[in-house]
Structure 1
Amino acid sequence: MFYKPAQGHGLPHNPFNAIVAPRPIGWISTRGAMGDNLAPYSFFNAVAYVPPQVMFASTAAKSDREGTKDTVAQIRETGVFCVNMVTRALIDAMNATSAPLPAGEDEFTAAGIAKAPCETIDCPRVAEAPAALECRVTQIVPLLGAANVLVLGEVTGVHIRPDCLNGGRYLPPDRLSRLGYKDYAAITETFALDRPPGG
């Protein structure tokens, strides 16, 4: 089949949601004047090595946050955020934090998630996350479409849970990813692949 997104796809569910997959989940924590916030974003990835940088996109709005969501509102306020990585063991807690709670209601508390302090920014992180990336915003970019916003940040601190280091490599028990629709995958099978010479 072929379709032009502007003209619709005619299917029961939007195929674009599942075509670019798997996507890592950035479980973004922030702190602002209204308190702490935690929410998952599957439009998330790393974008550069040196200095290390990440991005995520927010694609919806809440009526109590003036055209955006709690995460972006608090990042605009403070200029910092933390990306917590997710494993299969944390999926229920992660999913619980996707609920549209009123602004100012703490998802850590609502979902029973333990907080830990960040070192380089004033922000909480998920204590049980296999890794967490402390970030300072470098750009907030409006995207096409209502409430679509891209946030880019420089990683200023990295937390790795001790049991996720093996032989000097980051090796969590699995990596949770979004496949689209309501589908997720816990990636456990990995393999090494050498690049061509000079690659």
Structure 2
Amino acid sequence: MTQRRKKSQLLWIVLGMRIILFLAEIGVGLWSRSLSLLAGSGHIFSDLVTLGLTLLAAYLVEHRTGNKEGFKYQRLEIWVAMVNGLSLIAIACLIFWETVTHLQAPELKPSLPMLLVAGLSVAINGANIHLLRNDSHHDLNLRGVFLHGIADAASSLSMMLSALVVYCWHWLWADTVASLFVASLIVWSALSLFLNSFNLLMEKTKEIALI
């Protein structure tokens, strides 16, 4: 199996698991009006779009007809990673804005569904991290998906903690704090991915071809 084909298989597996997680988070988030779950679902939606674009770019690279086209499509993969970073920053800004508005009128939210979905998110992201750990060291887009998995797992742990706090002590601000933490993690992973992508885009043709 070629490295490109292995990459495509990994991305398809991750895509399937993240579709399940997205449906769970957005469904329960809309029902419970949980900011932290909606923030997480927004992050995952961006991941789904980027995974689709990455799979398309990987397919074009694998079926290139010449070195010139291969170089062009490899640059496309880098552009996909850069766009992903920018979209994540935009999502984080929206989360910050919604969080500030909800601070003025906090609401009691069902905490048990939040806890269950957060547990599912930790399990799925843990599986993603395990699948991508080795290959993320030498592929830009796999590294981006790997970093998102780490950020998602950390944000899911914060959602679990906030759900427990709301359930045990009815501290309504806990969900808001968790959503701010999620947004901060999104910004961190987005900036890291964008800067790495930009640096690679500026490098010589030979260095880009080794990605």
Q: Same fold by TM (over 0.5)?
A: no
Relative contact order, CA 8 A, sep 6+: which one is greater?
2
Query: Over alpha carbons, which structure has the higher Rg?
Result: 2
Normalized against structure 2, the TM-score is what? Answer: 0.22
Normalized against structure 1, the TM-score is what? Answer: 0.23
Higher helix residue share: 2
